[in-house]
Amino acid sequence: MNQSPYYFLTNTDIEIWNNSLDCDCEVDECISNHKLCALCKKVIIFNSYEACQPTSQYKWNIDHIIPKSRFNELTNYANLRNIYNVNDKKNKQITHVICNKIKGDEFNPNFENGFGFINNTNI
Ligand SMILES: [Zn+2]
Ligand SMILES: [Zn+2]
């Protein structure tokens, strides 16, 4: 426990983190430690990666925008997004674990995040 997220995340995961929506709150560590969830647009704290802080309400992981389980069924939508492999970084986004669970295996092609906005009142 208390292992750095760098221990668990791949270089691609870090790239996905870096390319995520920026937070701009007042906290000193904001630039180095905050991004926004693709689903609820509220803060995600880097050090709260789920493998590091499994009990945190802020825990986060990486969501497949087009769900793994439905990738074959949704190939046409994947192609429209130039995604040719379920694990392509273009098919991934950072989300709170609770937001990711709400999204489940849904996919709505009208939204870049594959779902729409989640009003997450737990954060
Ligand atoms: Zn912040
Ligand atoms: Zn969220």
Mean pLDDT of the chain: 96
- Contact of 94 with 37, CB cutoff 8 Å: yes
CA of 73 to the centre of ligand 1 (A): 37
- Tens of pLDDT, residue by residue over 24-67, are 999 999 999 999 999 999 999 999 999 999 999 899 999 999 99
- Tens of pLDDT, residue by residue over 8-20, are 999 999 999 999 9
Asked if the structure places residue 38 within a domain, the reply is: yes
Asked if the structure places residue 53 within a domain, the reply is: yes
- Contact of 77 with 91, CB cutoff 8 Å: no
Residues with CB under 5 A from ligand 1 (ion): 23, 25, 30, 34
What distance in Å separates the CA atoms of residue 31 and residue 54, rounded to the nearest whole number? 23
Can you say how many angstroms the Cα of residue 81 is from the centroid of all Cα atoms in its chain?
17
In the chain, the number of structural domains is 1
Asked if the structure places residue 40 within a domain, the reply is: yes
Asked if residue 1 has pLDDT above 60, the reply is no
Asked if the structure places residue 121 within a domain, the reply is: no
Residue in the block written with tokens 């990486």: 62
Asked if the structure places residue 82 within a domain, the reply is: yes
**71 is in which domain, residue-wise?**
5-103
In this structure, which ligand is nearest to the CA of 103?
Answer: 2
- Contact of 57 with 68, CB cutoff 8 Å: no
Backbone angles phi, psi at 37, to 5 degrees: -65, 135
Residues with CB under 5 A from ligand 2 (ion): 37, 39-40, 96, 99, 120
